[in-house]
Structures are given as structure tokens and as C-alpha cells.
């Protein structure tokens, strides 16, 4: 399959399939505990950035954007041209889940 067709499928995928693209890798400790390789990231989960300019930084997930398939992480921001602090979108494949937000439902 061509690069452009796979890219088009990812961008135009329905939301229930884009949800699967929001799975993130687990830290070695969580991997042993949960016996899984990756899980769906949720707001409040603590993650470490593994790739890019913010490599090594950690923070909790503030927002998960299903439509754009990106995460917004606390502390990862820049000042825009108007002087406002805006969060930088991070792709889920570039982060690793360190700590899950525990709830009764989960």
C-alpha cells in the first residue's frame, strides 16, 4: 500500500477506529503488572515523552484529542505570537505510560 493511501486512511478514519490509534506503550513495570504491551491513554495518566524536542520530560495528560489523534501534556507548552501559553500536540506513539490514573470504573 502506498504511503499516501495509508496516511489518507488514518486521517479519514471514523472516530471509533481512531480510538485504537491512541494506544500508548507501557513502562516495563506496568507491562509486567498488566500483562499488556499498550493501553488506551486517558486524561490524568502520567506519561514520559520518548521522542522529539521534549524527550525525557514527564507530565500528566491534560487532553486527548480523538479527531487529531494527539495528546496535550502538562508542562509541554510554548508562547504563541499573541503571548498566550499554548500546549504542544504530541503523537501517542512518542510517549510511554508511566502511571495510570486509578478509578473504580477502570
Q: What is the pLDDT of residues 11-32, one digit of tens each?
A: 999 999 999 999 999 999 999 9
Q: What is the pLDDT of residues 71-85, one digit of tens each?
A: 999 999 999 999 999
Can you give the residue range of the structural domain that contains 8?
3-99
The structure's pTM equals: 0.87
Distance (Å, whole) CA 85 – CA 26: 29
Kindly report the CATH number assigned to the domain that includes residue 11.
2.30.30.30
DSSP state string for 55-66 = TT-EEEEEEEET
Domain assignment present for residue 104? The answer is no
Element (H, E) at 14: none
Domain assignment present for residue 105? The answer is no
Q: Is 95 helix (H, G, I), strand (E, B) or coil?
A: strand
CA distances 23 to 2, 15, 79, 84, 99, Å, are 24, 14, 29, 30, 14
Domain assignment present for residue 20? The answer is yes
Amino acid at each position: 500500500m502506498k504511503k499516501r493511501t495509508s496516511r489518507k486512511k488514518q486521517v479519514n478514519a471514523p472516530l471509533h477506529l481512531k480510538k485504537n490509534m491512541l494506544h500508548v506503550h507501557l513502562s516495563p513495570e506496568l507491562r509486567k503488572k498488566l500483562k499488556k504491551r499498550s493501553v488506551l491513554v486517558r486524561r490524568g495518566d502520567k506519561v514520559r515523552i520518548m521522542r522529539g524536542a521534549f524527550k525525557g520530560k514527564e507530565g500528566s495528560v491534560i487532553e486527548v484529542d480523538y479527531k487529531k489523534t494527539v495528546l496535550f501534556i502538562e508542562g509541554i507548552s510554548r508562547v504563541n505570537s499573541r503571548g498566550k501559553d499554548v500546549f504542544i500536540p504530541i503523537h501517542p506513539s512518542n510517549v510511554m505510560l508511566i502511571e495510570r490514573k486509578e478509578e473504580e470504573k477502570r
